[in-house]
Amino acid sequence: MRTVGEPNFTRPLNEISFGELLFSLFRVARRFRLTIQPQLIMLQKTLLNIEGLGRELYPDLDIWAVAKPELEAILREKQSVEHAARDFREKLPSWLATAPEMPGLLHDYLRKATRGQLETRIASDDLARLRREHERSHQRTLLALSGGALSISGALLVAMESGPWYLWGFSGLGAGLLLIGGWLLLRALRG
């Protein structure tokens, strides 16, 4: 992200193309398979509108120089000692309320960790998608193995001219196994 944004920090508005900037951001997001939040898309849309309006009103405006004092004020407020102290004061009562339970929870956690009984639960759309892909892959593997085994069994029965139910000089069971095995292999390939 830095390589996309930093070259524009010292340039005036008439030299910055937010369209190209956004295109570069989308390209980076696609390259690393990042999901783009709707808020970011709305921000990018706003930036495009600002670019058009800014170019009409004041094309030589250095947006970063104008925004720098505001951004510094916001960062000072968010990263200040007063802000950290206020956060600490707000969270302290809940921390103190749960403090008596901590030794027991820590003991239970460590006991489960040493016994190998820890479970991780992740509720995520990506995890669900990965699980579905894994199940489909597993099913295709089972179909391929079953189809291969049935095809080999059928081919052996046909080649050895053995087995019950002869049809046209071939083992009916062998031919049936070959057909079923071939069908399962095709299903696995189409997956």
50-97 per-position pLDDT tens digit = 767 777 787 777 777 777 888 888 888 888 888 889 999 999 999 899
Tell me the C-alpha distance between 137 and 140, whole Å.
5
154 vs 172: CA distance, rounded Å: 9
Report the b/e string of 41-51 with b at 16+ CB within 10 A.
Answer: eeebeebeeeb
Question: Closest Cα to residue 16, out of 57, 68, 59, 70?
Answer: 59
Q: Which two tokens stand for residue 32?
A: 């690393």
Write down the pTM of the prediction. 0.34
Across residues 24-46, what is the average pLDDT? 79
